[in-house]
C-alpha cells in the first residue's frame, strides 16, 4: 500500500477518462496530458491507460508500506527518505524502487502538472469504466475526491522491481495555441476575432481541471446575437466567452454542455499544453485549418510513440524482454521493434 | 433554418437544427441520433443530443471527417417521429414544506394557490430536452406560460439532491447536491443517477417524457427507504 502523509494541493487519480457517457451529463475527465500519463505508465511498466496520480504545482509526500516501484513523469523536485532518515534525490523521467517504509516527497513541480505512476497500478474501483476522479459528482478515485493526508491506497499485486528511464524529457511546445473557429464564431465582431488571434491573454487565478479563465482583451459579442445561446455541447479545448468578454478555455472536467457562445476550439494536439498552463502564464492563439489540426495529431502521436520507444533499462543486466514477455507494456506502441540505445 | 454542420474543434462535429428551445427541433435531434446510430460508424466516442443540436465526439484518426459529415447530413433528413427509444416516466414528488421551500413564493409570484401550482405542474407532460450540467441532470420543458419565473436573484450554495426545481420554461430534478438558482418546489425519492448501473446510470434519457405525481410525506419516506435499499426496480417509475 501507499500511505499519503501529506497532500498540500489537490491531486487526483486520472486515467484516460470516461468516454461514452457524455449524453448523460457525465464529463469526459481523464489526464490533462494523456501523453505524459502514458510515459509515466511506460516507466512504471504499466499499460498506457493505467490510473496514475495527476499532480499540480506541489505534490504529495507518501510512504511505501511495502517494496514497490514508482515512476515520475514531469519536472518534480522529488526526494526519497529511507527508514534511517537518509534522503536522496529522485530523478525525473524514470522509475524508482522504494523499500518498505521509504518516503517519497514529490516536492514542487516546475512543469504545470506531472504524473506519479506505480508499478502494478493503484487498486481503485472503476466507476462507469474509469478510475478518473470527478469531484463535482463524487465519481472515481478515492470516494470521488481529491487526495488527502491519511489516505491508504492499495497497489496492484505485481511487485517485480522495475528500473527504466527516459533518456530525454519530452519538450512542451510553445508558440501560439492552434485553434479552429468555433460553432458561434459569427456571434463575435470581426474586431473581437482580430484581438483574439493577435493579442496576448493571461491565465487568471481561476484555473482548475474544469477550465482556465483568461485575462486580457475583452472579446465583444456581436450585438445582433448577444452573449447567451441555448445550451449545446462543448468539449475540452472549447473557448467560450460569457457576457463579460473574458474567455474561458474548457478542460477535461468541463460540463458536457454550455450556454455561452464558443469563439474557437483549441486543436486536440495542443490540449496537453493547456493542462500545464498555470496562473500568470501568457497565451496566444492562431487559426489553423482542420487539415493542419489532423497533421498535428498524427505528429503528436508519432512523437509520443518515439518517446516511449526510447525508454530503456537503467542498468546492465535488467531483463527488458522478460518485462515484455510478461505483457506489462502494451498501450500506444510496440516498443520492442523501435530503436533502443 | 436548414440544418448545418459546425466544427467543434478537430474531434467533434455539431449538427445544428436551430438556435432556440423548440420541441420540433428536439424531435429532429432525436430522430437524427437514432439514424446516426443505425449507420454504426466506427471511431465515435460520444453522441450528445441537446435542445437543438446533436454533437458527435470522434477520433479523427479513426473516422474520416467527411464520412461523418455525410452521415450527419443523411441523419438530419430522418423523419422526426416518436423515437422508439423514448420512455414515459411518472415521478412521485412531495411538494412544499421543507422539501419545497419556494412553493409559497412561487404561488405568490404567479398569483395562484399552492395547490394550483402543483396541479398545473403535474398536469404537464414534460419533455426531456437535454441531460447535462451534472451527471443525470434533466432539463425538462416546457412549463405553462404563467408558471415561468426568472431565476432566484441569489442562487443557493447547496440545493439538496433530488430537489424538483423550476426556472423560466424549464423544470429539473437535481441528482446531486449542487449550487443552484432555480425555485425549489418539492423532492422526489427517485434516484436519478446510479453509478452502479453501468448499462443505464441515468434514469432519464433525452427524448423521454416525464410527469410528476404528488405524494405525501409518509409515502415519500417509504419510497426513499425502498430506493436506498434497492428494493424498487427503476422500471417502477415508468408510466403504466
Where do the structural domains in chain B lie, given as residue ranges? 4-75, 88-237
The pLDDT value recorded for residue A84 is: 92
Q: How far apart are CA B142 and CA B29, in angstroms?
A: 17
For helices B103-110 and B114-123, the axis angle rounded to 10 degrees is 90
The pLDDT value recorded for residue B82 is: 62
DSSP string across A10-21: --EEE-S--TT-
Domains and CATH numbers, chain A: 2-170+314-324 (no CATH), 177-298 (2.40.100.10)
The ipTM (two decimal places) reads 0.92
Count of A-B CB contacts under 8 Å:
136
Using pLDDT thresholds of 50, 70 and 90, give the confidence band for residue A329: very low
Residue of chain B minimizing CA distance to A183: B6
Q: Which residues of A touch B (CB under 8 A)?
A: 19-26, 28, 127-129, 136-139, 180-183, 229-235, 237-238, 255-257, 262, 265-268, 290, 293-294, 297-298, 301
Judged on CB neighbours under 10 Å (0-12, 13-18, 19+), B84 is exposed
Residue of A183, A81, A110, A250 lying closest to B9 (CA atoms): A183
pLDDT of A241-293, one tens digit each?
Answer: 999 999 999 999 999 999 999 999 999 999 999 999 999 999 999 999 999 99
- Dihedral, CA of residue B1, residue B204, residue B176 and residue A30, to nearest 10: -70
In this structure, are residues A81 and A105 in contact, taking their beta carbons and an 8 Å threshold?
A: yes
Average pLDDT of span A35-58 = 96
Using pLDDT thresholds of 50, 70 and 90, give the confidence band for residue A340: very low
Highest mean pLDDT among A7-11, A313-317, B41-45: B41-45
Which residues make beta-bridge pairs with B178?
B159
A70 Cβ contact list (under 8 Å, min separation 6): A44, A64, A95, A96, A98, A104, A116, A117, A118, A119
**How far away is chain B from the Cα of A199, in angstroms, using its nearest Cα?**
21
C-alpha radius of gyration, chain A, whole number = 21
The pLDDT value recorded for residue A337 is: 35
SS3 A196: helix
Using pLDDT thresholds of 50, 70 and 90, give the confidence band for residue B1: low
- CA distance from start to end of chain B: 38
Residue of A205, A229, A223, A228 lying closest to A215 (CA atoms): A205
pLDDT of B75-127, one tens digit each?
Answer: 999 987 666 668 999 999 999 999 999 999 999 999 999 999 999 999 999 99
- pTM score, two decimals? 0.91
**How far away is chain B from the Cα of A297, in angstroms, using its nearest Cα?**
8
SS3 B28: helix
Where would I find the H helices in chain A?
Answer: 34-43, 190-198, 271-275, 290-309, 320-325
The pLDDT value recorded for residue B142 is: 93
pLDDT of A70-99, one tens digit each?
Answer: 999 999 999 999 989 999 999 999 999 999
Using pLDDT thresholds of 50, 70 and 90, give the confidence band for residue A320: low
Q: Do B45 and A183 touch (CB under 8 A)?
A: no
Q: Domain B4-75: which CATH class?
A: alpha beta
- CA distance from start to end of chain A: 34
Question: Hey, what's the cell of B156?
Answer: 443557493
Per-chain mean pLDDT for chain B:
94
Q: Which CATH superfamily is domain B88-237 in?
A: Cyclophilin-like (2.40.100.10)
The pLDDT value recorded for residue A111 is: 85
The pLDDT value recorded for residue B198 is: 86
Q: How far apart are CA A225 and CA A246, in angstroms?
A: 17
pLDDT of A135-177, one tens digit each?
Answer: 989 999 999 999 999 999 999 877 788 899 999 999 888 899 9
pLDDT of B132-176, one tens digit each?
Answer: 989 999 999 999 999 999 989 888 999 999 999 999 999 999 999
DSSP string across A258-278: ESS-EEEEE-GGGHHHHHT--
Amino acid at each position: 500500500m501507499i500511505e499519503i502523509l501529506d497532500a498540500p494541493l489537490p491531486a487526483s487519480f486520472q486515467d484516460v477518462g470516461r468516454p461514452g457517457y457524455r449524453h448523460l451529463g457525465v464529463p469526459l475527465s481523464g489526464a490533462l496530458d494523456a501523453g505524459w500519463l502514458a510515459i509515466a505508465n511506460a516507466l512504471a511498466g504499466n499499460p498506457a491507460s493505467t490510473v496514475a496520480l495527476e499532480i499540480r504545482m506541489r505534490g504529495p509526500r507518501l510512504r511505501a508500506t511495502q517494496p514497490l516501484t514508482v515512476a515520475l513523469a514531469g519536472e518534480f523536485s522529488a526526494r526519497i527518505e529511507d527508514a534511517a532518515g537518509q534522503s536522496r534525490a529522485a530523478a525525473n523521467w524514470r522509475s524508482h524502487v522504494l523499500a518498505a517504509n521509504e518516503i517519497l516527497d514529490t516536492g514542487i513541480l516546475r512543469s504545470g502538472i506531472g504524473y506519479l505512476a506505480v508499478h502494478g497500478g493503484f487498486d481503485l474501483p472503476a466507476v462507469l469504466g474509469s478510475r478518473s476522479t470527478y469531484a463535482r459528482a463524487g465519481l472515481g478515485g478515492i470516494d470521488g475526491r481529491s487526495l488527502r493526508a491519511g489516505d491508504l491506497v492499495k497497489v496492484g499485486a505485481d511487485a517485480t522491481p522495475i528500473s527504466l528511464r527516459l533518456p530525454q524529457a519530452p519538450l512542451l511546445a510553445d508558440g501560439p495555441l492552434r485553434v479552429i473557429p468555433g460553432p458561434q464564431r459569427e456571434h463575435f465582431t470581426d474586431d473581437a476575432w482580430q484581438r483574439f488571434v493577435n493579442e496576448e491573454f493571461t491565465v487568471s487565478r481561476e484555473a482548475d481541471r474544469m477550465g482556465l479563465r483568461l485575462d486580457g482583451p475583452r472579446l465583444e459579442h456581436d450585438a445582433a446575437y448577444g452573449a447567451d445561446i441555448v445550451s449545446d455541447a462543448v468539449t475540452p479545448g472549447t473557448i467560450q466567452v460569457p457576457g463579460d468578454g473574458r474567455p474561458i478555455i474548457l478542460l477535461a472536467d468541463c460540463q458536457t454542455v454550455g450556454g455561452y457562445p464558443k469563439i474557437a476550439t483549441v486543436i486536440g494536439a495542443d490540449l496537453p499544453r493547456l493542462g500545464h498552463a498555470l496562473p500568470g502564464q501568457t497565451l496566444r492563439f492562431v487559426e489553423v485549418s482542420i487539415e493542419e489540426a489532423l497533421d498535428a495529431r498524427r505528429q503528436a502521436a508519432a512523437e509520443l510513440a518515439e518517446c516511449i520507444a526510447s525508454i530503456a533499462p537503467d542498468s546492465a543486466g535488467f531483463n527488458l524482454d522478460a518485462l515484455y514477455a510478461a505483457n506489462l507494456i502494451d498501450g500506444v506502441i510496440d516498443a520492442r521493434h523501435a530503436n533502443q540505445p | 433554418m436548414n440544418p448545418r454542420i459546425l466544427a467543434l474543434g478537430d474531434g467533434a462535429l455539431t449538427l445544428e437544427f436551430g438556435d432556440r428551445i423548440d420541441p420540433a427541433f428536439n424531435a429532429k435531434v432525436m430522430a437524427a441520433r437514432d439514424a446516426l446510430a443505425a449507420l454504426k460508424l466506427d471511431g465515435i466516442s460520444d453522441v450528445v443530443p441537446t435542445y437543438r443540436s446533436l454533437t458527435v465526439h470522434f477520433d479523427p484518426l479513426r473516422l474520416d471527417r467527411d464520412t461523418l459529415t455525410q452521415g450527419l447530413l443523411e441523419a438530419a433528413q430522418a423523419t422526426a417521429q416518436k423515437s422508439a427509444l423514448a420512455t414515459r416516466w411518472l415521478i412521485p414528488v412531495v411538494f412544499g414544506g421543507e422539501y419545497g421551500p419556494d412553493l409559497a413564493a412561487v404561488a405568490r409570484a404567479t398569483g395562484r394557490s399552492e395547490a394550483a401550482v402543483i396541479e398545473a405542474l403535474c398536469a404537464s407532460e414534460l419533455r426531456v430536452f437535454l441531460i447535462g450540467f451534472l451527471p443525470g441532470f434533466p432539463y425538462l420543458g416546457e412549463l405553462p406560460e404563467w408558471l415561468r419565473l426568472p431565476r432566484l436573484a441569489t442562487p443557493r450554495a447547496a440545493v439538496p439532491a433530488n430537489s424538483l426545481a423550476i426556472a423560466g420554461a424549464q423544470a429539473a430534478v437535481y441528482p446531486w447536491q449542487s449550487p443552484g438558482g432555480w425555485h425549489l418546489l418539492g423532492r422526489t425519492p427517485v434516484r436519478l443517477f446510479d453509478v452502479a448501473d453501468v448499462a443505464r446510470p441515468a434514469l432519464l434519457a433525452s427524448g423521454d417524457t416525464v410527469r410528476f405525481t404528488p405524494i405525501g410525506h409518509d409515502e415519500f419516506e417509504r419510497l426513499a427507504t425502498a430506493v436506498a435499499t434497492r428494493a424498487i426496480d427503476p422500471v417502477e417509475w415508468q408510466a403504466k
